[in-house]
Amino acid sequence: MRKKPICFLDIETTGLDSVRHEIIEVSVIKEHPTGALEYYSAKIRPTRIKDADETALKINRFHSRDWSDAFDALYVAEELSKFLHGCSVCAHNVRFDMEFIEELFEQHSMPCRIDPRYLDTIMLAHEQLLVCGLTSLSLDSIRSFLGWSLARNHTADKDAEDVRRLYHFLSRANFMRRFWWRLKNRIRQKLQNLTKK
């Protein structure tokens, strides 16, 4: 049995640069070794919105009216530091998320006592789904491939939920399930070839 909780994490940001851009939403699901779950979710009030990437804001559907009751970054840094303390972290493209989290902690002089051995669902998907015909490792592509709903995608709560779901789904995938994915992909390819003729 695992000795440490795993925190399944997702953030939404104003761009791709962890120094120039900011986290505007964070969601974490902490799963204890017993299976008990705790949740932390917050919107963060951006202070450098003029530096934001317009594409990023469209993707995460940012509108200032929806962030009117958002928290200050310092408050969220304090809460997040306590919530993640001593945990393993799992995310989809975890290095991206953790660069922003580490920058948030550094800016507000918060201790970062997280297990540095991060877990990445992209790596699990790379190992198990690319051979089955998946062409992109984005979370939306994986959702479509597995038949999962895209509703509320690119919100931190939904993405954190699906990161946890994907982690357990792929971690528990046995030989028969992987065989079935490959078979479905071959059938799909043959049907596509038939329709082209």
**pTM listed for this prediction:** 0.87
Domain coverage including residue 40? 6-196
Residue 175 domain-assigned (yes or no): yes
The residue whose two tokens read 């992109």 is: 136
Between CA 84 and CA 64 the distance in angstroms is 28
Residue 105 domain-assigned (yes or no): yes
Residue 1 domain-assigned (yes or no): no
> What confidence tens digit (pLDDT) does each residue in 43-64 have?
999 999 999 999 999 999 999 9
In this predicted structure, the answer to whether residue 173 has a pLDDT above a threshold of 90 is: no
Residues 6+ apart with CB under 8 A from 15: 21, 51, 52, 53, 56
Residue 176 domain-assigned (yes or no): yes
Mean pLDDT, the chain, integer:
90
Count: domains in the chain: 1
Q: Where are the alpha helices (DSSP H) in the chain?
A: 54-59, 73-84, 94-107, 121-128, 139-146, 156-171, 175-196
Closest CA to 12 of 69, 67, 84, 75: 67
What confidence tier does 190 reach under pLDDT thresholds 50, 70, 90?
confident
Burial class (CB in 10 A: 0-12, 13-18, 19+), 101: buried
Residue 54 domain-assigned (yes or no): yes
Query: What is the arithmetic mean of pLDDT over 3-32?
Result: 96
The residue whose two tokens read 């393993």 is: 88
Query: What is the arithmetic mean of pLDDT over 92-100?
Result: 97
> Which CATH number is 26's domain given?
3.30.420.10
Residue 128 domain-assigned (yes or no): yes
Residue 16 domain-assigned (yes or no): yes
Asked if 159 and 92 count as a contact pair (C-beta separation under 8 A), the reply is yes
